[in-house]
Amino acid sequence: MRLQYPPNVRIIEVPCTGKVDVMHLLMAFEYGADGVIVVGCLEGDCHYSAGNLYAKKRVNRVKEILDKVGVGGERLAMYNLSSGMGGRFAEIVREITEKIMELGPSPIRVATGKATGPIAEVTT
Amino acid sequence: MIKAVPKPLEEILDQVKDFTKVLIAGCDGCVTVCEAGGLKEVKVLASALRLYFTQAGKQAQIDETSLTRQCEKEYLAQLSDKMDIYDAVVSLACGCGVQYMAEMYNNKIIYPGVDTCFLGVNEERGLYVERCQACGRCILAETGGICPIARCSKRMLNGPCGGSDKGKCEINKDIPCGWELIYERLKTLGQLDRFEKPVDPKDWSTSRDGGPRTIVREDLRI
Amino acid sequence: MSVTTPSKLQKMIDSGNFAVTSEVGPPRSADGAVIEHKGKLIKDYVDAINVTDNQTSVCRVCSLACCIRLKLMGLEACLQMVTRDRNRIALQSDILGAASFGINNILCLTGDHQHFGDHAKCANVFDLDSVQLIQTVKMMRDEGKLLGGHEFAVRPQMYIGAAANPFAGPNVAMRVSRLAKKVAAGVQFIQTQCIYNMDTFKEFMKLMVDRGLHEKVAILAGITPLRNVGMAKYMQKRVPGIDVPDDIVRRIGGVPKEKQAEEGLTLAVEQIQELKEVEGVRGFHIMAIEWEEKVGEIVERGGLYPRPQLA
């Protein structure tokens, strides 16, 4: 489809978003990610029945933690897409990158002096 | 098993914010089962604390460990050679573990990282319900295997009260009336005669008061 | 059928006349005049006046002080006592205190959970429950003994009552069994939950009569007049253990607002008339919640006035 999306995004593939753990998300921020999105299958379409629903709950829990520790829950989001929605995926990545750009570098990178340009991480 | 819930993160942050070396110590016993205090929760809390200190521009060392049980000295002793370096410990054990840690490491500040709640069962993952209040004198043989002390809101020994409605407790329609359950079970067991026999006032001396309750088993002591 | 005490209420019940009791709720302040006023309003229409014990777990003047006040006015008081707030030491102490002033009626209750009241964060006690309180009063009266074993000479002469709720369904037979347990513990009279569902109440009484329990305990049927349709709906939806059938709500709601109170009183009078015919009913307990001034009218229209004067 030759869809374009920003190059500062790193994609980490997992078999199912049900595999994404609270710790994976927290570690991404500890390592300096400016933003993370978790992209799962459409709700009701999980091959493992509820993996994306578990992921949603974990994402919400981590958002809460990020708010409380001063990193900001708005740097983490979850989306549900089907494999046929490549166009929408590219659009979301563009949108989220813009949003993270507006938010600026993560307070973690600012504090550790590693802030150069934004890094966004995508888990699919 | 003992059931607990993680303390609110902000409460823990407020307690440790002025320290630079903090140990998060989990317990692999009961609190691991209800996902409040095992190694997993230790890692999550430690990560959250690291994020907090880092964004605040503060250097802090947050270490992680989990002990087999915090209610036994042998396991707590495993921390003895490294305890000196920490300013404080957040213990993710039940109240027993936190206290035993504090007792063993007398000069160390020990914070509880969970709220210890009750003795209960896992009805489902994430749904834990009380079953026993450890009154020290079990009456389950008389009550069809259902404890009125734990399951009746008024811990009545001669229930149900007049407030139960359609089999539910007066304080919350989601709580089954413990005595309705007892009645139905006694009926199933053919023991309804027990229901009509008044139960005398309970000897509460084995329960909750009189300082820490102690069990001495001479047959087990070395 | 049971131990005779100096209670005037017991005398009335034992005489075979329908007994009438009512209740007054103490104020949420130190104003003693409230109880005096309420007592005067109803005294000529009832055989005994219950004083509620921090009802719905809302802190008020204590039942004991109010009972003493009524007693000093020359009225027959019934001490309501819940086990929620006091342990067995305090309960027995208050029973002795009440008896020392010549109070001869007690209603033994477990009490509403504190969750409903104005101190929801308090610790409850529930050292005893209502059945055990009945046992305790009986032991103090008949054996001159405290639960701790201490024996004493001057015994509290208490006519022992309790509550029953036939409507805390779904199982009416279980409610009869529960009452049988209170009978086994030594209860002498019962004041029931307010009755709106006649069918359920009659089913309950039939089971009582079938087992002969109505001969062992005097049942006083609970009557609470509805002031308006709002109250009927509130009782139907919000008050645990009260069963207000839809046709009652429709009846009260079916008349203009200014006539609903009158309709409620008429309904209460009709209920009394109907209940007089139910085997085992020995009297009425009229709970006119903050509407004490209407007790007299209900008693008169219910054909229960004047109260018989017994020697």
Distance between CA C114 and CA C57 in Å, rounded? Answer: 5
Distance from the C44 Cα atom to the nearest Cα atom in chain B, whole angstroms: 30
Per the domain annotation, does B209 fall within a domain? Answer: no
Q: What is the pLDDT of residues C169-204, one digit of tens each?
A: 789 999 999 999 999 999 999 999 999 999 999 999
Q: What are phi and psi of B42, to 5 degrees?
A: -60, -45
- Pick B166 or C300 by higher pLDDT: C300
Per the domain annotation, does B206 fall within a domain? Answer: no
Amino acid at C24: V
Q: What are phi and psi of C132, to 5 degrees?
A: -70, -30
Distance between CA A3 and CA A117 in Å, rounded? Answer: 23
Is a pLDDT exceeding 90 seen at residue C290?
no
Tell me if chain B has a CB within 8 Å of the CB of A108: yes
Distance from the B215 Cα atom to the nearest Cα atom in chain C, whole angstroms: 24
pLDDT of residue C187: 98
Distance from the B100 Cα atom to the nearest Cα atom in chain C, whole angstroms: 27
Contact assessment for residue B69 and residue B27, using Cβ atoms and an 8 Å cutoff: yes
pLDDT of residue A49: 93
Residues of chain A with pLDDT under 70: 1, 115-124
Beta-carbon neighbour count of residue A115 at 10 Å?
17
pLDDT of residue A114: 73
Give me the CATH number covering residue B60. Answer: 3.40.50.2300
Which of C129, C168, C177 is opposite residue B195, by nearest beta carbon? C177
Residues B107, B71 share a domain: yes
pLDDT of residue A119: 61
Per the domain annotation, does B70 fall within a domain? Answer: yes
Q: What is the dihedral of CA B182, B186, B188, B189, to 10 degrees?
A: 140
Q: Which of residues 16-55 of C touch B (CB under 8 A)?
A: none
Tell me if chain C has a CB within 8 Å of the CB of B196: yes
Per the domain annotation, does B219 fall within a domain? Answer: no
Instruction: Quote the distance between the C-alpha of residue B90 and its chain's center.
Output: 16
Which of B163, B167, B192 is opposite residue C112, by nearest beta carbon? B163
Contact A68 B48 (CB under 8 A): yes
Distance between CA B179 and CA C178 in Å, rounded? Answer: 10
Q: What is the ipTM of this complex?
A: 0.93
Contact B167 C170 (CB under 8 A): yes
Residues B39, B7 share a domain: yes
Please compute the mean of the pLDDT values over residues C85-97 and round it to a whole number: 98
pLDDT of residue A1: 63
Distance between CA C159 and CA C136 in Å, rounded? Answer: 13
Residues B50, B8 share a domain: yes
Q: What is the 3-state secondary structure (H, E, C) of C216-267?
A: CCEEEEEECCCCCHHHHHHHHHHCCCCCCCHHHHHHHHCCCHHHHHHHHHHH
Which of C283, C275, C289 has the alpha carbon at shortest distance from C231? C289
Average pLDDT, chain A: 91
Contact A65 B56 (CB under 8 A): no
Which of B58, B112, B71, B105 has the alpha carbon at shortest distance from B85? B105
pLDDT of residue A5: 82
Domain, as residue range, for B57:
2-118
The model's confidence at residue C310, banded by pLDDT at 50, 70 and 90, is: confident
Distance between CA B35 and CA A51 in Å, rounded? Answer: 19
Tell me if chain B has a CB within 8 Å of the CB of A70: yes
Which of B51, B56, B62 has the alpha carbon at shortest distance from B86? B62
Q: Residue C191 contacts by C-beta under 8 Å, 6 or more apart in sequence?
A: C21, C50, C107, C161, C162, C163, C164, C220, C222, C285
pLDDT of residue A118: 57
Average pLDDT, chain C: 96
Residues B114, B16 share a domain: yes
Q: What is the pLDDT of residues C272-288, one digit of tens each?
A: 999 999 999 999 999 99
Domains in chain B, number: 2
Which of B78, B103, B93 has the alpha carbon at shortest distance from B25? B93
Which of C36, A4, C184 has the alpha carbon at shortest distance from B200? C184
The model's confidence at residue B209, banded by pLDDT at 50, 70 and 90, is: confident
Which of C110, C105, C111, C182 has the alpha carbon at shortest distance from C141? C105
- Cα separation values, B12 from A91, B99, B108, C233, Å: 39, 17, 16, 47
Contact C129 B157 (CB under 8 A): yes
Instruction: Name every chain B residue with its beta carbon within 8 A of the beta carbon of A110.
Output: 55
Q: What is the pLDDT of residues A100-113, one digit of tens each?
A: 999 999 999 999 87
Bridge partners (DSSP) of residue B89 are: B23, B110
Per the domain annotation, does B144 fall within a domain? Answer: yes
The model's confidence at residue C143, banded by pLDDT at 50, 70 and 90, is: very high
Beta-carbon neighbour count of residue B221 at 10 Å?
6
Residues B90, B28 share a domain: yes
pLDDT of residue B11: 98
Distance between CA A69 and CA C290 in Å, rounded? Answer: 54
pLDDT of residue A115: 59
In this complex, whether B and C touch, counting 3 or more CB pairs under 8 angstroms, is yes
Distance between CA C189 and CA C106 in Å, rounded? Answer: 10
pLDDT of residue A3: 79
Asked if omega into B160 is within 30° of 0 (cis), the reply is: yes
Q: What is the DSSP string of C280-300?
A: TEEEEEE--TT-GGGHHHHHH
Q: Which helix (H) or strand (E) holds B132?
A: strand B127-132
Contact assessment for residue C131 and residue B179, using Cβ atoms and an 8 Å cutoff: no
Contact B159 C111 (CB under 8 A): no
pLDDT of residue C305: 96
Q: What is the pLDDT of residues A79-107, one digit of tens each?
A: 999 989 999 999 999 999 999 999 999 99
Distance from the B160 Cα atom to the nearest Cα atom in chain C, whole angstroms: 7
pLDDT of residue B165: 86
Distance between CA C287 and CA C294 in Å, rounded? Answer: 10
Q: Which of residues 3-32 of A touch B (CB under 8 A)?
A: 22-23, 26-27, 29-30
- Chain A: residue whose CA lies nearest to B45: A65
Amino acid at B77: A
Contact assessment for residue C190 and residue C219, using Cβ atoms and an 8 Å cutoff: yes
Beta-carbon neighbour count of residue A65 at 10 Å?
23
Contact C132 B166 (CB under 8 A): no
Instruction: Name every chain B residue with its beta carbon within 8 A of the beta carbon of A30.
Output: 47, 50-51, 54
Instruction: Name every chain A residue with its beta carbon within 8 A of the beta carbon of B47.
Output: 23, 26-27, 30
Subunits adjacent to chain B (3 or more Cβ pairs under 8 Å) = A, C
Residues B145, B108 share a domain: no
Q: What is the pLDDT of residues B70-92, one digit of tens each?
A: 999 999 999 999 999 999 999 99
Range with lowest mean pLDDT among B206-215, C38-47, C139-148:
B206-215
Amino acid at B2: I
pLDDT of residue A116: 55
Q: How far apart are the first and last CA of chain B?
A: 27
Q: What are phi and psi of B121, to 5 degrees?
A: -115, 165
- Cα separation values, C289 from A6, C44, C117, C124, C197, Å: 72, 18, 17, 25, 19
Contact C241 B170 (CB under 8 A): yes
Contact assessment for residue B16 and residue B86, using Cβ atoms and an 8 Å cutoff: no
To test the contact with chain B by mutation, choose from C146, C178, C195, C285 the residue with the greatest count of B C-beta atoms within 10 A, namely C178
Q: What are phi and psi of C27, to 5 degrees?
A: -80, 165
Q: Which helix (H) or strand (E) holds B173?
A: strand B172-176
User: How many Cα atoms are found within 13 Å in the side-chain-facing hemisphere of A6?
Assistant: 20
Distance between CA C95 and CA C97 in Å, rounded? Answer: 5
Per the domain annotation, does B184 fall within a domain? Answer: yes
Distance between CA B172 and CA B163 in Å, rounded? Answer: 11
- Cα separation values, C161 from A56, C61, C156, Å: 58, 21, 14
Domains of chain C: 8-301 (3.20.20.220)
pLDDT of residue C170: 83
pLDDT of residue A120: 62
Residues B96, B66 share a domain: yes
Q: What is the pLDDT of residues C235-260, one digit of tens each?
A: 999 887 899 999 999 999 999 999 99
Amino acid at B156: M
Is a pLDDT exceeding 60 seen at residue B8?
yes
Which of A22, A69, A112 is opposite residue B52, by nearest beta carbon? A69
